Amino acid sequence: MQNRMMITGAGSGLGREIALRWAREGWQLALSDVSEPGLQETLKLVREAGGDGFIQRCDVRDYSQLTAFAQACEEKLGGIDIIVNNAGVASGGFFSELSLEDWDWQIAINLMGVVKGCKAFLPLLEQSKGKIINIASMAALMQGPAMSNYNVAKAGVVALSESLLIELAQQEVGVHVVCPSFFQTNLLDSFRGPTPAMKTQVGKLLESSPITASDIADYIYKQVAAGEFMILPHEQGRMAWALKQKNPQLLYNEMTAMAEKMRAKAKQNNG
């Protein structure tokens, strides 16, 4: 391990905090995002924290931008040891309200962005016998109401990670998938949904979370070091996942009740 890490969506939120956590260990960081100012700020903080690296604007929907980023990592850092596919966007709305464009947008970034990141960087990881860290969500495991396109994209990230875990074991490339619940982040800046009320509800969940992006980055750091494949940073998330594995119907009933409440609230707001 030469301590070189690539992160997508590193301009803010969890991506930035992951960069800072590894920077404190003196790592070299290749940072990408669609926001150039966010990247500049992250790099400044990384250097203050004891790391270094470079930034490159990159839209994960565009495979050629990701391969160019991989090439830059090879030229500037001599390769890569860990990739973190973190870039993501939030969306919400009941299935009947979501347009096919909403689906395409969500899948293109949250699922295919991860597929393309893995594909573009795999040759470098095979050389370094490195690791892949894919950021999914508890939504991949819990499938809450009024976010079907997000649930499906994130569940795809978990399935991809499980597939790679098995396929890349022989090449000695490690794979981890992270499923955080709601946490204090700026995910809502990119939020897309049919109703403003939905954005407000998600906003309340994010604000009420007792855990920050920095806490999650620290938890990921420890669990990756311990070799844990599925990383669930929230205690409530771990409990909910254990419950679903034991008694899925109980969870479906709870989610159904939640969906009814959400619909009633939406009616009230519109009425």
pLDDT digits (tens, 9 = 90+) for 217-227: 999 999 999 99
Higher-confidence residue of 122 and 191: namely 122
N-term to C-term CA, the chain? 59
How far apart (Å, rounded) are the C-alpha atoms in residues 97 and 268?
A: 17
pLDDT of residue 194: 56
- Residue 150 annotated in active site: yes
Assign 208 a pLDDT band (cuts: 50, 70, 90).
low
pLDDT at 184 over 70: no
pLDDT of residue 236: 83
| Annotated catalytic residue, options 150, 219, 221, 252 | 150
Task: Choose among 56, 72, 53, 41: nearest CA to 2.
Answer: 53
Q: Beta strands 131-135 and 82-85: pairing type? A: parallel
Task: Choose among 116, 12, 134, 19: nearest CA to 65.
Answer: 116
pLDDT at 86 over 50: yes
Structure tokens at 142: 């819990």
Percent of the chain at pLDDT above 90? 73
